[in-house]
Amino acid sequence: MQNQKTENSNSLSLWTILVTFLKIGAFTFGGGYAILPVIKREIVENRKWVNDNVFSDILIITQGMPGQLALNSSIQIGVRLRGTLGGITAAMGVTIPSFLILLTIAAYLYPLIRDNIYMEAVFYGIRPAVVALIATAAIKMGRTILHGWNGIILCAVLLVTAIITGVHPILILLIGGLAGLVVCKGACKQ
**pTM for the whole structure:** 0.62
Residue type (1 letter), 38: V
**13 falls within a domain:** yes
Question: What does pLDDT average to in each consecutive run of 10 residues of the chain (190 residues)?
Answer: 47 92 82 78 92 87 80 92 95 91 82 80 85 82 79 88 88 86 64
pLDDT of 77 reads: 95
Classify residue 167: in a domain, yes or no. Answer: yes
Long-range contacts, 36-39 (Cβ 8 Å, 24+):
36/69, 36/70, 36/73, 36/133, 36/134, 36/137, 36/141, 37/133, 37/136, 37/137, 37/140, 39/70, 39/73, 39/74, 39/77
pLDDT at 31: 66
- Whether residue 42 sits in one domain with residue 20: yes
Please check whether residue 111 lies inside any domain of the structure: yes
Q: Are 120 and 71 contained in the same domain?
A: yes
Q: Is residue 2 part of a domain?
A: no
CA distances to 2, 144, 158, 161, 162 from 167, in Å: 31, 26, 10, 8, 6
Query: In this structure, are 73 and 114 located in the same domain?
Result: yes
Summarised one tens digit per residue, pLDDT across range 46-97 is 999 999 889 988 888 887 787 788 889 999 999 999 999 999 999 999 999 9
Are both 44 and 95 inside the same structural domain?
yes
**Domain check: are 139 and 153 in the same one?**
no
| Structure confidence at residue 1 (pLDDT) | 42
Residue 151 and residue 133 share a domain? no
Residue of 96, 79, 82 lying closest to 14 (CA atoms): 82
Q: Is residue 1 part of a domain?
A: no
Collapsing DSSP states into helix, strand and coil, what is residue 158? helix
The range of the structural domain enclosing residue 86 comes to 7-145
Domain count of the fold of the chain? 2
> Are residues 110 and 132 located together in one domain of the fold?
yes
Whether residues 77 and 171 share a domain: the answer is no
Residues 135 and 152 placed together within one structural domain of the fold: no
Closest by CA to 24, choosing from 96, 131, 122, 128, is 96
CA–CA separation, 69 and 95 (whole Å): 12
